[in-house]
Structure 1
Amino acid sequence: MSDTSGTKKSSRRAASRSSRLSLLIAVSASALLSVAGPAHSAPVKDPLPADIPDYQAALDAVKSTEVRNTVCNFLRTPVPTDSADGPVQTIPETAEPCQGLPAFTIKDPVALNEITPEFVAGTAKPLPTDAIKLTQLVSSLSATVNGRNATVMLAPTQGGGWHLAAVRDGDHDAAYASKATLGTLVFTEPQIRGWYQLKLTTVEPLNDQARQGLGGQASVSLGDYQKLVKARYADKLPGSEYDTTGYSSGYNLQQTQDDTPSSTLLLAGSSSAALVLAGGAVVLRRRRRASTH
């Protein structure tokens, strides 16, 4: 009789431990996802995107005729191969920019997260909510167009909403950003173009640059990762001597633009092109490689 009673008590204790563990996992995952908040309720096949402010505005932007026409202009314009300091020329406007191009759609945007300057400086705690920040949204195309793909980048608009910030060659940003799953975050270390996945408080590399950034390790704690980026960039933040003396642009998040696209397209020479909104104009130029030296 006592054995039966003991077995029942043991079973209850095991069940209790299992319940507490499940609760802990659920709470931890919830804390991680609180960087972005609750997921959208719209039914989709893939994991729901993190809660993005004014997400409907972002959807409206990437589905708009204006953004599609800009992408078409980008895709039908040959990518310059000369120096980024070369002359700038106007891209002729066409009445139907997408006419004659293969059919494509622009996918729903996903979050592009970056490490925060406070995390880099070491003034923020190594917690997901303090270490990672949503800076832009990125969308790729449903298909290649004449052998090219592109990434549409949206920036937050002051007062709410999103607007087109750039169109870039290739789809790497969107491809990596889309690897986020329920319970994980994906973020970039833009200075080395490293992409990482954050699982609770464990950082894992997603590309070669990130693996090099972790010194070849398969994973590190968020606290150890903070030590690595602090050593790399803490003396290179905006306002530092490294920044103000002109050695680089410093470490900085993407700048928010309040301007809307103009109808004037400008083309600058480059070997790696990005169609960028600058002061209301759309400029095709080479993507800068941020230096840490």
Structure 2
Amino acid sequence: MRHTSTIETSSKRSGSRSSRLSLLLALSASALLSLAGPAYAAPASDPLPADIPGYQAALDAVKSTDVRNAVCRFLSTPLPAGAGEPVQTIPETTEPCQGLPAFTIKDPVALNEIAPAFVAGTAQPLPTEAVKLTQLVSSLSTTVNGRNATVMLAPTQGGGWHLAAIRDGNSDVMYASKATLGTLVFTEPQIRGWYQLRLTTVEPLNDQARQGLDGQASVSLSDYQKLVQARYADKLPGSQYDTQGYSSGYSLPSKTDDTTSPTPLLAGGSGAALALAAGAAVIIRRRRRASTG
């Protein structure tokens, strides 16, 4: 009897330790998320959020004449009708916004993606390890001739932000803006999936993400790591998949999201004439994949 009692007491203590450990992990994740959330994904409701590095430079960029003119040139140029269309050069004009309805470019918000180390399985399934801030995105205050656009900023080496691309539509901003204090919003760009991370629970925000979770309403961050590790661990930069030119071609068998173009269409730069080159580059890579697959 004494032996049995000892076993029962040991079992209770073990269960108590397990419960305390689970609670500790949950509280730790909550603390990490509350710290990481604003830094990585919170909408820029504060004019100068200190948790987005160099945010003043991002504000200066989206309010600059150069970026505004680039947006006007983009909106004045018809989108390519399909893969067979030639790359279009945006005409240089002294007043690119002339004749267009008035608009402003909203303050940028953070765009997060799954981190390579998380995909590779070398990072822990924690909010601060799972995602990384890759870009800032801004949308327009109103549609212009029936079109909207997303201004995409990339970090500048040495600090600050610069125009990286302009994309037709505004779904990136729409999803990125769903972040709240205590949650992270991030994208799995390979399938155009958008997710919300609550503590250590991943929830889908669009159809692509629901398919990425095999139809589940939510999964643990640990289980999500297993899913993306299975999908992409052998397709990371430097892998054979990457070096053979397939890195833009991976997708799940799913319906496409027609709310926005899947590729940035206008590459940002300091030159006067900007071309719709990014879309053409991906079309070429997809053709290459089709010809070799």
Query: TM-score, length-normalised on structure 1?
Result: 0.75
Paired position in structure 1 for 2:162:
163
Task: Tell me which amino acid in the other structure corresponds to 2:157.
Answer: Q
| Cα distance per residue 1:248-284 (max 9 Å; x no partner) | 3589xxxxxxxxxxxxxxxxxx997610137967331
Question: Structure 2 vs 1, CA of residues 74 and 183 (structure 1 numbering), >3 Å: closer, same or farther?
Answer: same
Q: Is the 8 A contact 1:49 1:110 kept in 2?
A: no
Preserved contact between residue 190 and residue 248 of structure 2 (Cα < 8 Å): no
How far apart, CA to CA, are the structure 1 residues paired with 2:212 and 2:54? 33
Question: What 5-or-longer segments of structure 1 have no aligned partner?
Answer: 1-22, 252-269
Matches within 5 A, 1:209-248: 209-248=208-247
Cα gap change, 1:24/1:212 in structure 2, threshold over 3 Å: closer, same or farther? closer
* Letter paired with 2:117: E
- Equivalent position SS for 1:242: helix
Question: What stretches of structure 2 of length at least 5 have no aligned partner?
Answer: 1-23, 251-260
221-230 or 242-251, which deviates more: 242-251
What is the CA–CA distance in structure 1 between the aligned matches of 2:107 and 2:142, rounded to whole Å? 14
Compute the displacement of 1:234 (Å). Answer: 0.6
Give how far 1:240 is off.
1.4
What residue identity is the alignment partner of 1:70? Answer: A
- Bigger proportion of residues as strand: 1
CA distance in 2: counterparts of 1:197 and 1:96, whole angstroms: 41
1:34 matched to which residue of 2?
A: 35
AA at the equivalent of 1:97: P
Q: Evaluate the alpha carbon distance shift between residue 182 and residue 89 of structure 1 in structure 2; reply closer, same or farther with a 3 A threshold.
A: closer
C-alpha RMSD of matched pairs (Å): 3.4
User: Counterpart of 1:275 in structure 2: which amino acid?
Assistant: L
Partner of 2:145: 146
Give, in whole Å, the separation in 2 of the partners of 1:90 and 1:283.
4
Question: C-alpha distance in 2, partners of 1:219/1:133?
Answer: 21
Q: Distance in 2 between matches of 1:100 and 1:279?
A: 23
Number of corresponding residues:
251
User: In the alignment, is residue 61 of structure 1 matched against residue 28 of structure 2?
Assistant: no
- Structure-2 separation of matches of 1:89 and 1:45: 38
Opposite residue 99 of structure 1, the aligned amino acid is Q
CA contact (8 A) 1:81 1:271 kept: no
Following TM superposition, by how much is the alpha carbon of 1:190 offset from its aligned partner in structure 2, in angstroms? 0.5
Structure 1 pair 45–26 and aligned structure 2 pair: CA distance change class (3 A): farther
The alpha carbon displacement at 1:100 in A equals 1.2
Deviates more, 1:30-39 or 1:192-201: 30-39
| 1:118 paired residue number | 117
Q: Do the aligned residues in 1 keep the contact of 2:90 with 2:276 (CA within 8 Å)?
A: no
Structure 1 match to 2:276 = 284
* Amino acid in the other structure paired with 2:36: V
1:80 aligns with 2:80: yes
Q: Distance in 2 between matches of 1:271 and 1:32?
A: 29
* Percentage of matched positions with identical amino acids: 73
CA contact (8 A) 1:33 1:50 kept: no
CA distance in 2: counterparts of 1:224 and 1:75, whole angstroms: 42
1:274 paired residue number: 265
**Alpha-carbon distance in structure 1 between the residues aligned to 2:125 and 2:242:** 25
The code of the aligned residue for 2:268 comes to L
Q: Structure 1, residues 232-256: CA drift from partner, whole Å, max 9, x if none? A: 01111111122223333589xxxxx
2:191 paired residue number: 192
Q: Quote the offset at 1:89 in angstroms.
A: 4.8
Counterpart for residue 16 of structure 2: none
**1:72 counterpart SS class:** helix
Contact 2:39/2:52, CA 8 A, preserved across alignment: no
> Is residue 29–residue 127 contact of structure 2 (8 Å, CA) maintained in 1?
no
Q: Report the CA distance between 1:150 and its aligned residue.
A: 0.2
CA 271–132 in structure 1, closer or farther in 2 if over 3 Å, else same:
closer
| Partner SS state of residue 66, structure 1 | helix
Contact 1:112–1:138 (CA under 8 A) maintained in structure 2: yes
